[in-house]
Structures are given as structure tokens and as C-alpha cells.
Structure 1
């Protein structure tokens, strides 16, 4: 399967404006380094599509490593260093007649509507969890009800286990607006964390056997095409910690059918571009939509690269996306992991060197693809990477999966 290039998905004259501009956004990563690193999500599959990316993600050490590992870096990337630099670059392009592809709803005052490919109010509506039933069909979501967070009586009716979510038009990402509550104490913690939210969603907690992120593209004329799917790796609290791609695995037909219908619903409302939807499958084969991301997701470049290498005959049976960080500089992090890069089982999809980007403090970061021809070897390579002093969330092994299942059954 050959995926369409971004220049074929987005109309001519558009450019990616990926930065989260709202400094007061509560339901997305608040760490400045994380905010700036997210702008590099698509550099490994950008091709000739123009985009703004923070300078820290384009350091000489990082670019040399990606080229050495055979990753094709975007050819039309413009770097910026400060939020003001980003805003100036954004407005300069718009004044030159280009159209911005915003990843998050933008608070920038635009000179005219056509300055944005998708209007911010449309993005806000599509990504608000309160509207999932409208877009995917009420029969395709877990049982849920809305809670007025200002009402003590309504909050007291919450009973575990549930998934507690925030209904908001504000930017949201990374699972920071979701809490998996298996015990009453988890609900209490979530209510404390979500104290600033006006409306909550109390959703039936689905014990899933598969957790898919299915991705689609909505092209300029509104046509929907399938991009692919990976399984999601999440920690028990619900925070997303990576993805798993398997050559021989694909979502069940009902998952793909529902995903396509969601993309088509978004297309009718004016969405254009890459999008990805989180769909669970329970042990009875029933599919449940739990989150909609009408924007490029963190695994988009990972899926593109895995499929590209598979088409070239250089891919492995399994690939795992890991969000990694390490104390010290990026150069030091690269040296610690160098054998894995040389042996070809670690592939960098994005790197981040704070000092090069004018950011003080912080740690080096990388988005890495770990590849192997068996899950056993993949787990072993995760252990090797961790032994290099790299921090990331490991995939659960078979024993951990069984323990998790047994705990939930009891």
C-alpha cells in the first residue's frame, strides 16, 4: 500500500501551522519543550509540504542522524525560535496569500476566512468529546452521560469503573483530558484534576481486546481515503504512550467502516486533511469510538515510515513508536543508542535539542521507531534501549496483559 503524499492531501498554497498558540490551554501538554517538539510530528513524512517547525527539532546532530538512518526529512520546512517568530512567520505567509492548516483551534485574528483551510470553530466542534455521538452515531459509543462539574449532587452520583472525560472546545491532546477511574479514589483524583472544567462526560469503561487508531485523509474535494491503522499503547490512567504496527494485522471491518463514516461526517462539516480516531474492540467484537482527532495524530509519521519501508522491502514485521527522553544533550543521547542506530533496529522520526533551539534547561527528546521480526525480540530491544539510559513507557508483555485482564475480571 502506497500512501498519498501530504502535497496530494492538502491543496496547493497551504502550509502546516502546527504550534499550540494558546498558552493558557489546560488540556494539552503545558511544558514548553513538549509544545515545541509537537511541531515536528510530521517532518519524517512531510515531503515537499511546507510547514513551520521549532528550531530545536532541526539541529545538525538530529538531521545527520535521521539522514544516516534513511529517513527522508521534509524539504520545505521553515524553522522558528520564539513564539513571536512563529506568529510573524504565520502572518507573513498568510499575507502572501497562503492558507494555514491549523492543528489546533487558533486564537489568531485572521485577515479573512480563506486564510485557514479549516475554520477554528469547526476544529473545536469536531474535537470536542461531547460531539462524538453526533459524528460517529450513538450506537457506536460507550454508554455515557454529561455531568455539570459545578453540581456536587451530580458529581456524587459517579460510580467506578468509568472513564471520566472533559467536554470542551479548548485544545485537547495526549489523553490529558481523560481519566480512567477503576476505583472511587481514582474518581476523586480526576475530579480534583478536572476542577476547572465546566462539563464532564462519565463514560462506560470498555475492557478492550484491541485499541486501534485508524487514520484517514480528507482531500481538498472532500474525498475520504484510508491511510492505515496502528494499535495504541496506553498506560492504565489512559495516557497515550506509543503505537504498535504489525505487517499482518489490520483492523476489523466494522472498525474501518465506522472510522470512514466519521471521516465522511467531518468532511461534510468542512474538515480537510489528516485525521485519526481511537476505536476500541471488546471481546464480543463490538466496536466503540472513544476519541476523535480531526488533525494529524502523533503516530502519522510513524505509520507513513513503517509502510514506506515495507514497500521498499526493508521493513520488519513489527514496529513500535516510542516517545523517548534522556538526560544530557541530544548528541549524548545519540551516542548512548548508537549501536541500535547502526544495526538498524532504532529509527529516529524526530529529535529535539533544546539548547540548539534557544531553550534553556530540559532534556533531549526523540520519537523512535523500534523494529523487530517478532514481539519477543521487540521486547528485548526495548530493554536494550532502556539500558542506554533512555526513558520511555515499555509495551506490556504477555504476562502483564494477562495480569491486567485478570485484575479487571475480578
Structure 2
């Protein structure tokens, strides 16, 4: 085995220190704005394992022999700093065990007090909730980098929307976490508006909502930073985000030429969060419009989908990295064998593998998240070839 992991330029342990554990799983509680499928949520618990170097709570299906073999094929020993769960009950047990041991927990997403006391949060829970609340965007940007926006009570939302020209964006302003564009409702026409209002009605919420102008985007960046007292404030890097027309996340590529005004805007927002007491990694969705103006549309004071890719950037061969997440549409064996072939070829770097065959039920597809890397044309060709192979 090589010393690949020893060459990481940054780990979560360097930021959060000893006696801190990490969980990226959304709470098992109901959340109307974060509709991640259960197996997808379980798989993503291991996404940051390689950049952690600290205890991470991950699902048992991510630590089997196939996961270890993929890591070995990439030249790495499987990390040992993890604690496993298999269901909602055992997940809650891991949290309670950490609390009883006096450890702090860095939550990717907030959990109710029935899981752990607020004092167990590594970041003050009220601050963490406020930092990630879309309604408070103006507070953390100090009123800068914002599209036209208005916060309205849900009971006034339908009436207020009649005053806005299409397209516009509706975002929930409550304390429920969101991710991957879920919870963000882009309205191009009255059909989209009616669908959004219907979804909001189904959520049975009395929260406020944010209405924003839709930004006609030239580029969509996730710009990331890290801070601790020991390391100071660091710019980790940025990725170019691929979203569909309704803002749903479909992956990203590493951005090596980011406009300085984008980096500066993100740094300013990070400094505002740090001044309020935030410690750790954060990523901000910053848009550049056709006039070169920078707009902040979402602030994620937590690890992000491309955080591992950005930290690993200089360690991967080639000039082009593309985040890759997929699940088996062919048989699990065929899916795994093709992944192994790509990893052994040195063009696909594994972050996490979720073994569908771990489960006694039949028909659970395996899942994978990793990084394509190499030259752009080669990466895109193999990405497309894998998609063609992995068809129903």
C-alpha cells in the first residue's frame, strides 16, 4: 500500500480535534424538504470517510469486503476510524453512546432532541441552524451578493406570488435542513407555481418562505473554505455544479480557474460565519450572471458533496476531476465488477461503496460514490460508457 492518505492536505480531524465524531446522515425524522431515499442516505454516510481521520458513523453495508477491495485496488487501506449502524435504532444508539462518553458530534444535518441533547453538538445548535437557514441569508452575507428576495408568511405566499414575474424561486425558511436542491422550487410558469403551492400545502407548515428572483446563470460554483483556530481560514477550492433546470443537483467537476471576485465573496461570507462562532468546513453556492455579478443563493455551513473531491484534487492523476454517484441498474455483481475495472485502471477513485447484497431482501441495488479523474475527453468518454453499461 502507498502512503496516499498520509498526503492529504487537510483532514476533518485537523479542524475538529479529538473527542469529536461525525455523522452525515439526515435524521430519521420526517423532513418535508429533504426526501433522500433511505439507502442513498445510508450510502452517503461514508462519503467523507477518506478525509475524516476521525470517528465517522457509517452504515454496515459500506464496510464489507467489496468496499475494502475497491480501496485496496486504489492503493489504500480501508480507514479504521468508524462506528457502524444498521437501522434507525442502532444509529440512535451510536449517538447516545457518543453523548454518554462526553464526545461532541459534528452533525451534517440537525437532529431532534430525542436523539441527543443540544449540548452534544460540536457547533452550537442554535448557531448551526441559523447559519443554514435560507431565510437568514442576508444576515450572513451582510446584505451583499443577494438577488431580489422577500420573506413572507406561508399564509400570504399565494397572494404575494401574483406580484412576481416568472421565473422566480421559492425556498422554505424553516429550520429543516435541505440538500441537493430539494426543497428549492423554481417556477417558470403557473403550472410550476401551482405544483410548488401544492407541495407546500402537503408539508403542513406554518413557516415563512423566501421568494427570490431567478438568476440567469453563466456559471454555478460551490466555493469551499475551512476554519479552525489551529489552521486559520483556508480556501479549499471550488467546483462547478451541474443542476437541472429545476435546481436539482446532478454532480460537479473541479474548477481550477475561479474568478477572484467569486473567491473573495465566499471568503467574506466565511469570515462572517467564523465571527459568529462557526468552526469547520463550509461551501457556498455562488452564481455568476451574464453581467459578471456574483450572487449567493445557498450557504452550507457543513461538508458538501464535492468536499472530498476538492481535498483530494492534488493527489489524483490528471487535470480533470468529476464527482460520480450512481446505483446499480444491472446486477449488483456486474455493477461491482465494472467499478473494480475502472478503479484498477486508475481513472476512478472510490469514496464509498454500498453493498446491496448485504441485505437479506432481494433487489436492493448497490450504490457507489467516487471521482473520475484524468484528461477531460477520457473522463467524459468513460463516464458516458459506464452510463450506457448501467442501464435497466
TM-score (norm 1): 0.86
Decide which of 53, 56, 60 is 1:55's aligned counterpart. 60
Q: Which residue of 1 aligns with 2:225?
A: 216
Q: Which residue of 2 aligns with 1:81?
A: 86
Closer, same or farther: CA 124–304 of 1 in aligned 2, 3 Å = same
| CA deviation after TM superposition for structure 1 residue 113, in Å | 5.7
Give CA-to-partner distance per residue, 1:296-334, whole Å, 9 cap, x none. 11111122222322xxxxx11111112211135543312
2-structure distance, mates of 1:169, 1:54 = 26
2-structure distance, mates of 1:222, 1:110 = 31
2-structure distance, mates of 1:138, 1:326 = 44
The runs of 5 or more residues in structure 1 that have no matched partner are 310-314, 392-410
1-structure distance, mates of 2:64, 2:330 = 15
Please say which of residues 202-211 and 1-10 is displaced more in the overlay: 1-10
Contact 1:142 1:204 in 2 (8 A): yes
1-structure distance, mates of 2:126, 2:294 = 29
Q: Which residue of 2 aligns with 1:31?
A: 37
1:66-215 equivalent positions in 2, closer than 5 A: 66-71=71-76, 73-109=78-114, 114-151=119-156, 152-195=158-201, 196=203, 197=205, 198-215=207-224
Contact 2:106 2:121 in 1 (8 A): yes
Contact 1:352 1:366 in 2 (8 A): yes
Please say which of residues 287-296 and 100-109 is displaced more in the overlay: 100-109
1:7-18 equivalent positions in 2, closer than 5 A: 7-18=13-24
TM-score (norm 2): 0.90
Contact 2:168 2:214 in 1 (8 A): yes
- Secondary structure in 2 aligned to 1:139? coil
Closer, same or farther: CA 359–207 of 1 in aligned 2, 3 Å = farther
Instruction: Say yes or no: does 1:228 pair with 2:243.
Output: no
2-structure distance, mates of 1:383, 1:360 = 28
1-structure distance, mates of 2:18, 2:100 = 16
Instruction: Say yes or no: does 1:3 pair with 2:9.
Output: yes
Decide which of 315, 325, 344 is 1:308's aligned counterpart. 315
Please say which of residues 161-170 and 142-151 is displaced more in the overlay: 142-151
| CA deviation after TM superposition for structure 1 residue 72, in Å | 5.8
| CA deviation after TM superposition for structure 1 residue 105, in Å | 1.4
Give CA-to-partner distance per residue, 1:240-295, whole Å, 9 cap, x none. 1101015xx23211111111121122222222211111001112221100101111
| CA deviation after TM superposition for structure 1 residue 52, in Å | 0.8
Q: Which residue of 2 aligns with 1:407?
A: none
Closer, same or farther: CA 360–24 of 1 in aligned 2, 3 Å = farther
1-structure distance, mates of 2:188, 2:341 = 41
RMSD of aligned residue pairs (Cα, Å): 2.3
Q: Which residue of 2 aligns with 1:318?
A: 320
Give CA-to-partner distance per residue, 1:344-376, whole Å, 9 cap, x none. 2222211112341667743211113122313x3
Closer, same or farther: CA 359–269 of 1 in aligned 2, 3 Å = farther
Give CA-to-partner distance per residue, 1:203-240, whole Å, 9 cap, x none. 11111211111111121569422111111111111011
- Secondary structure in 2 aligned to 1:138? coil
Instruction: Say yes or no: does 1:19 pair with 2:21.
Output: no
| CA deviation after TM superposition for structure 1 residue 188, in Å | 2.1
Give CA-to-partner distance per residue, 1:137-167, whole Å, 9 cap, x none. 3231111112333234223334311122111
2-structure distance, mates of 1:111, 1:171 = 17
Please say which of residues 49-58 and 179-188 is displaced more in the overlay: 179-188
The runs of 5 or more residues in structure 2 that have no matched partner are 1-6
Contact 1:17 1:90 in 2 (8 A): no
2-structure distance, mates of 1:110, 1:236 = 37
